[in-house]
Amino acid sequence: MNATPRVLAVLDDILASAATDGRGALWHLAEQGRELDANLVRLPGGAEVGEHQEDVLDVLLVVVEGGGRLRTGGGGLELGPSTVVWLPRTSRRALAAGPGGLTYLTVHRRRPGLAIKAPSPESAYEGGEGPCMLDRVCPECGRLSEDPAPVFCSRCGERFLR
C-alpha cells in the first residue's frame, strides 16, 4: 500500500462546530488500513472518566482545550491546554474535567482484535471441555488430521478407524 499524506481534520473547525456542553468523541480516525487510532474527546465541566487500566496499549493524550486532572497510582497530574501526557500500558488512571471542561486528543496503536482470555485464578472457570478429536488422530503415526472426517492419513497413508 502506498498511501498519500492528507489533511484528515482541522481541530479548530471541529471544536467550533461542536456543542460546548456535549460529551464524548467529536472526531475519530477511521481510515482503512491504518495502524493507529486517534480520538478527539470532550468532557463537560466536572465530568469524569472513571479509573481504568489499559493492559495492551500505550496512549498519548494531548489536551486541546480546557483543563482538568489526571489521577494516577502515583498521585495526580494537572492538565491544561497543550499538555502532552504519556499513559503507559498497565498504568491505572482516571480523568476529571475542570469547571470549564476538558477536550483532548488520544493517539495509540490500533487495538488488536478481540481474543478469548484464559480465566484468572480468582474467577470460576465456566468453560467446559474442548471437543474430542481422537477420531482425527492417525493410529499409526499420531498426526492430527485437519480433515474433520479423515479416511487416510496424509502423512503415512494409514486408514483411520471408523
**pLDDT confidence of residue 143:** 76
Given the candidates 3.30.1360.170, 2.60.120.10, 3.60.15.10, 3.65.10.10, the CATH classification of the domain at 11-109 is 2.60.120.10
**pLDDT confidence of residue 81:** 96
Residue 3 scores a pLDDT above 80: no
pLDDT, one tens digit per residue, over 102-152 is 999 999 998 765 556 666 665 555 555 456 667 777 777 777 777 777 777
pLDDT, one tens digit per residue, over 65-102 is 999 999 998 889 999 999 999 999 999 999 999 999 99
Strand boundaries in the chain, DSSP class E = 24-28, 36-43, 48-53, 59-72, 75-79, 84-87, 92-109
**pLDDT confidence of residue 117:** 60
**pLDDT confidence of residue 114:** 55
pLDDT, one tens digit per residue, over 21-35 is 778 899 999 888 888
Instruction: Answer for the pair 60, 31: CB distance below 8 angstroms, yes or no.
Output: no
Residue 56 scores a pLDDT above 70: yes
Alpha-carbon distances, residue 55 vs 76, 86, 93, 132 (angstroms): 20, 14, 12, 33
pTM across the whole model = 0.67
**pLDDT confidence of residue 20:** 76
Maximum alpha-carbon separation in the chain: 76
Which residues face 97 on adjacent strands?
68
Residue 4 scores a pLDDT above 80: yes
Cα distance between residue 67 and residue 98, in whole Å: 5
Backbone angles phi, psi at 105, to 5 degrees: -110, 130
**pLDDT confidence of residue 96:** 96
Instruction: Answer for the pair 126, 74: CB distance below 8 angstroms, yes or no.
Output: no
**pLDDT confidence of residue 127:** 52
**pLDDT confidence of residue 13:** 94
State the DSSP string of 61-87. Answer: EEEEEEEEEEEETTEEEEE-TT-EEEE
Domain boundaries, given as residue ranges, for the chain:
11-109, 133-162
